[in-house]
Amino acid sequence: MGFLKKLFSTGKSKEYVDTRGLYFYAQCDQCGSRVRVRADKQNDLNRDGEGFVWHKTIVDNRCFRQMPVVVHLDGNYRVRSQEIEGGQFISKELYEQPEADLPAAGE
């Protein structure tokens, strides 16, 4: 079926938009490794009063250090507060930069 769809498509593909996921970006303080983590709005978040809370332990793929995370969100999934041990939250733009352009770990 996928073959026929490709054969008769107009060549314009729709870009996938993840409406159920929230993405967080972190960098390990020990090795500087960057990590992207997805939280599913329906399965990973717990109700917390009028908002949500997300508990996660992030592990990078270089030194495998555990970075416990707690993020509090409001009812519209906007971050109210975020805590991380052993790392720091970074922006999506910093996450996407090539490794050579990144500051060293702990800076």
Tell me the three state secondary structure of residue 66. strand
Beta strands in the chain (DSSP E): 21-28, 34-40, 46-48, 51-59, 66-73, 79-84, 87-89
- Global pTM reads 0.76
Determine how many CB atoms are found less than 10 A away from the CB of residue 93.
Answer: 8
Domain boundaries in the chain?
20-100
H/E segment holding residue 5: helix 2-8
Cα 38 from Cα 21, distance rounded (Å) = 6
Mean pLDDT by 10 residues, the chain (107 residues): 63 79 96 96 94 96 96 96 97 89 53
